[in-house]
Structures are given as C-alpha cells and as structure tokens.
Chains A and B, each alone.
Chain A
Amino acid sequence: MSIRMTRRGVLGTSLAAAALPMPALAQAKPDRIVVNISGGAMTNLFRRTYFAEFEKRHGIRVVDTSPVDFGKLRAMVESGNVEWTVTELGGQDFVRAQQMNLLEPLDLSIIDLSRYPEAVRNTTHTFPSSVYSTVMAYRTDVFPNNMHPKGWAEFWDVRRFPGPRTLRNHPVDNLEFALLADGVAPDKLYPIDLERAFAKLDEIRPHVTVWWTTGAQPAQLLVDREVVLASGWNGRFYDIARRGAPVAVEWQGGSAKQNAFGIPRGARNAVWGNHFLQVMTDPKLQAVYATELAYPGLHPDVMNHVEESVKPHLPTTPENLAKQFWLGVDWWTEHGQRAQEAWNRWMLRRG
C-alpha cells in the first residue's frame, strides 16, 4: 500500500515538473562549464582573469581542458558527445569550423559586440578573442644599434645579415614572407603565387637551420644562440625579452591574425558559453591578458587600461599595425591543403 502511494507520489512530482513553464528550466544553472584552451601559461592567466570573473558573476565553476584540437572538435560534434562548452579555435580553423557546421550560433543579445571594430562586429558563429602576429625577431647582441633586418627582403639578405635562421615548418606566413621578400606589395599577396613563393624560399633554404614546429621553439633557439633571426608568435618573443633575453621584435612585414573562440554545436550549456564569451569582452581583463602575453583583445577600450611601456609590444598599436598585413584567412581556408602538400614536397626535395 505504502509502495503504491510512493509510486503515485513520484509520478505526480514528475508530472508537475513537466508542467513547469520552460524559462524555469532554461535558467537552471549547471554546476560547471568546460572551457578548452591552448594550455600552458595561458591557462594560468585565464584562471586569474576570465575564469575568476565568470565564477564570480555567475557562480558556476569553470573547468579547463587543453589542447586545442580541430580533429577532436569535429569528432565530438559528429558523435554528439560534446564535452566542451566553449573552445578556442586555432590558427585559421575558425572559418572552416563554421563552414563545416561545427559551431552553435552566438547569441549576440548576451555577447555585446556593439563597440567592437566593424569588421568583426557582425560575426555569427565565432568570437574574435584577441590579435596575434607572426613576426621577425632577432638577437640584439648580434644586430646592435638598430642594425637588424627591417622586413623580409633584408631577412633574405644573408650577405648583409649573416647567421643561421629559423622559420616555421608550415606554409602559412612563410609563403607571404617569401613574396614580400620578392617585392610583392602587401595588398597584392593574394591569391598567392605558389611557384614564385617557393622559388624565393629556395634562396633562403640553406640558411634556415631549423624549421620549427612548436611555438616555444623559435624563442628557445634565439636564447640558445642556435639562430640569430627567427619568425615566431609575438607573445613568445615578448615573454623571453621581458625575462631579460637579448631578443627584440621587428614588426615590419608581420602577419597579423585574430584568435577566435566558439561554442561547439550541441554543447550542453550553450547559454552559459555565451555568458562566458561576454566575460571575455571585458576590456579591463583583456588589458591584463595583453600585458602578460602581448595578445590584446579587440575591445576598443583595451588600450586605455594598458601601461604605456607595454604598448610598443602589442600588434594592435597603430604604428605596429601599419607595418603588418592581415593574413588572408579565406585564401588559406580554400587552398590550405594544396599549399601544405606543395610545402611537404618542397621540404622533401633537397636534404
């Protein structure tokens, strides 16, 4: 008898729950969200800034995972088992992630982009988190008194600027650098003339002792004096220069691009993912991030919160931005695989 009563009780409760108006369910808070980022120093910084602020504002714990992995994102979405609430999207992947329908649309009523630059304000699926740049760096003791190569044509000039160099083992950026070295104007880079780019790369090839694969490598190679000139991500050089390494950055010919975040399609707490991205628009937090890693966010006020001494090291200060070009993400999205095969073939060709 009592069992039957209990059963009926349970049934009644669940019916009542089903009859509840929808908003009550939508507001149900999860106890945590999962944010997937590159890892390393970035995780600590995210913890101190965006994670801490989100936890304070919403009372939901943020769990971090790494690394950023495009293949895993696709596997998650296609298998319907999405672990991440929000994920960083590496390199040029954000366009393809959207094309391949791997992302939830952003809720721009939650994420306020009204003050963002016009070029990124109308984004539908990817959140423009910050700007970074592939730049040239050099040993200040080898090239003192501002006598270092200024631009890629001089990077290619091994007679005036002797010494081993390192470039990334990847066609992105390098094809552009080669064309710039060959005298192509920055606004005429695309569509990339592969043949011309590789012909120019042939010239520098014997002087590139290392083709780097991880972001930490070019900085380390400069510190160890393995090379005297390098290409690399601006934040890595900023980091070692701040810690006293005789290394400086030349912005001329730098390849600027935006870093992006997105919400994987089918993510369980997509609403809270949007709320997290809204926290990431905070210019004060973006300034902390820019000061530590030299990767500034795109909120126009971020520069107001950054110390004067940091500004020369950021890719988005006007004088630096004027020296760089914006990487042609659309070209790479369409031709990346073909360019990579050409690159592999070129790498294999001679020693």
Chain B
Amino acid sequence: MSSVAEARAAPSRARPDPERARERTLLLLAAPALLVLGVLFVWPLLRLLSMSVADGTLAQFEKAALDSLYIAVLWDSMEIALFVTAICLVLAYPVSLWLVQAGRLGFILGMFFLLLPFWTSVLVRTYAWMVLLGRSGVINRMLRDWGLIEAPLPLLHNLTGVLIGMVHVLLPYMVFPIYAALLRIDPDLKRAAEGLGAPAWRVFLRVTLPLSLPGVFAGCALVFVISLGFFITPALLGGGRVIMIAMLIEQQVREFLDWPFAAALATVLLAATLVIYAALGRLTGGQAHAAR
C-alpha cells in the first residue's frame, strides 16, 4: 500500500512544484515584516513572560490563579468582551450588507462615519460620550423634554456606558472583515439561487451568510481580542464600577512596579485569549467548511 502512495507522490516531487515556489516567494517577501515583528514584538513578549517566573517559582501564577479578585475580574473582562463582540456583530452585519450594494456617495458617507472614531483621540471621544450620556446630558435632556422619561436614564458610569463607548470604537474592526468577505462572494451564486426559485431570505441563509462566515469569524476574533485589552474607556465610562483585567495589569505595572505579578496576569490573559481564539476558529472554520 505504502509503495502505491509513494509511486503516486513521486511524480509531483520530481516536477518543480509551482505552489511551493510561490509560497517560498511570499515567505521571502514577508521576511522583513516577520523580522520586525520578531524583534519588536515576539522578543519583548517572551521577556515579559519570563519575568513572571524570574524568581524560579510559580508563586506569581499561584496568586493570579487562586486570588478570587483576579479570577472575578478576568471573568468579567471576558463577559464584557463577549457582549461587545455580539453587539458589534449585530450592528456591523447589516451595515456591511448595505455598504456592499451602496452607491458611490453612500459608500463614502458610510466609510466616513465608520472611520470618524479613528481620527479622534481616545480621551476626547470618551469625554464626548460623557457629554451625551450624562444625567443631564444631551440624550437624557432630550428624552425628558419630549416627556418620554421622568428620571434620567442611567446611561453613564455603569456597564451600559462602557459597552456604548467600546462598541463605538470597535465597530470598524467588525465591519471591514465582513464587508471584505461579502465583496468576495461571486454574484453569480446568488443569481443562480434566485434563478432556481429561492426566496431572498433563503438566498441569504444558504448562500450569503455561510460564505461570509470567514469574515464574521475574523471580525469577532479581532473585536474580542482588542476588547480584552481595553482600559481607558472602561475606566472613564464605567465610573469605577467596571474593572477589566487590563486596568489591574496597568495598576501593577505603573503604580506598584510589581512587574513579575503584572507579567503573570498578562500571561494568564494571553493564554485565555489564545484558547478562546482557537475554539472560535475551530467552530467557525468547521461551519464554513460544511457550507462548502
């Protein structure tokens, strides 16, 4: 049996493999970027991680893993990141669908509003939300003037405020991957489905949605991972009640200079992120494959 496989494999090994050559060229082209990443990102990251075990024991991890405070905050951070990802997804999908079929003017306008948060500093953006969402902020005053509410809605200095602020910043990270995936879908596929008598909702469920899943996965992974590291927005819009793990790491780094413990917390966060990332990848990857 094995000789048959070998015999089958042999011709392809003998011929110069164009796929291989192409891969090698790409790798060569990517080399400078990989080198920069290695020196400026991977190496410092490894040094940071090694700091957590610098004393030769796992004492720092013991503290991070056994102290209920840090477990609770890590769990909260995951939950918030999940919320943000879900809200972004719900908002971004229709926006992406609309962008794909929008005219030139619509596209430019849409992109402008999506990218606007990128051009503003985090602090300015966050203070702007305070003006809008406060007890006597624009939104509450408007709702009261219209007689819709009597007491101001608690929109700021709680989880609601944090979610609004974070979704605002992270929405583009969800829109662009989904938009790119939708753009890649061959319009003929949709036309074929329609031609075979599928109603619009079925075309969407059986063709558009499955084919856009890689974009959805990429967007979710991006938003989730970036959410986990947020700390200025939750610190300001959460009114102190919302604590995310990045805020505690920053506290250890800057205020207490307890770098080994900060490194341990960062390692735990990184590990948790990678596990979730892998799980998400497997889940969505499997679905996308099945759809094909």
Contacts and interface: CB of A to CB of B under 8 A. Distances in A.
Contact of B251 (A164, A212, A340): A340
A351 interface: yes
A217 B136 CA distance: 15
B55 interface: no
Interface string B118-146: 00000000010011001111000000000
Contact of A210 (B69, B240, B251, B258): B240
Nearest to B68: A345
B135 A347 contact: no
B257 interface: yes
A169 B240 contact: yes
Given A211-B240, A341-B69, A344-B243, A100 B136 contact: no
A348 B69 contact: yes
B256 interface: yes
A212 B130 contact: no
B279 interface: no
B236 interface: yes
Contact of A71 (B131, B157, B253): B253
Contacts of B82: none
A301 interface: no
Interface residues of B, number: 28
Nearest to A96: B257
B134 A347 contact: no
B59 to A, nearest CB: 15
A164 B154 CA distance: 13
Contact of B241 (A69, A336, A340, A347): A347
A71 B236 contact: no
A344 B69 contact: yes
A211 B241 contact: yes
Contacts of B131: 224
A337 B241 contact: no
Nearest to B76: A348
Nearest to B131: A224
A77 to B, nearest CB: 11
A169 B239 CA distance: 8
A340 B256 contact: yes
A211 B72 CA distance: 20
A300 B156 CA distance: 45
Given A213-B235, A226-B134, A348 B73 contact: yes
A96 B156 CA distance: 36
Contact of A347 (B127, B240, B253, B256): B240
Contacts of A214: 236
A198 interface: no
For B68, B134, B257, the residue with the greatest tally of chain A CB atoms inside 10 Å of its CB is: B257
B79 to A, nearest CB: 13
Interface string B35-79: 000000000000000000000000000000000110011001000
Interface of B: 68-69, 72-73, 76, 127, 130-131, 134-137, 156-157, 235-236, 239-241, 243, 248, 251, 253-258
7 contacts: A69-B254, A96-B257, A211-B241, A224-B135, A224-B137, A226-B134, A345-B68
